[in-house]
Amino acid sequence: MRLRYTDRAADDLESAFEWYEIQRRGLVFEFLDCIESALQNIISNPEMYQIRYSCFRGSVIRRFPFSIFYTIEADEIIIHSVFDNRQDTQKRPI
């Protein structure tokens, strides 16, 4: 299946990359490895992760306080948010 990112998801990733790079040089690459691993799991078996709310499935990122929220469409997986779990849950994608 093909992946497509919403603008929000792309912005979420960009913000997280910038923040982790400031925290410790190279930490952003560790974050990226964890994101890519989670995305590979989602692509391999998109229904493996439960529906967390509404129609959004969620995959928690290993080692980092983030979750990937996505939906499964006919021919693609849409990434709606790479959500920082430290935020208020009301800010999750709707």
> Using one digit for the tens of pLDDT, what is the confidence trace for 30-82?
999 999 999 999 999 999 999 998 899 999 999 999 999 999 999 999 999 99
With respect to residue 76, please indicate whether it lies within any of the assigned structural domains: yes
Question: Domain count of the chain?
Answer: 1
With respect to residue 19, please indicate whether it lies within any of the assigned structural domains: yes
For 45, the 3-state DSSP assignment is coil
With respect to residue 93, please indicate whether it lies within any of the assigned structural domains: no
Alpha helices in the chain (DSSP H): 7-23, 27-44
- Please give the model's pTM, rounded to 2 decimal places: 0.91
Say yes or no to pLDDT of 4 above 90: yes
pLDDT at 94: 60
pLDDT at 92: 74
With respect to residue 94, please indicate whether it lies within any of the assigned structural domains: no
pLDDT at 39: 98
Domain span at 61: 2-86
The DSSP secondary-structure symbol of 1 reads -
CATH label of the domain that carries residue 15: 3.30.2310.20
pLDDT at 53: 84
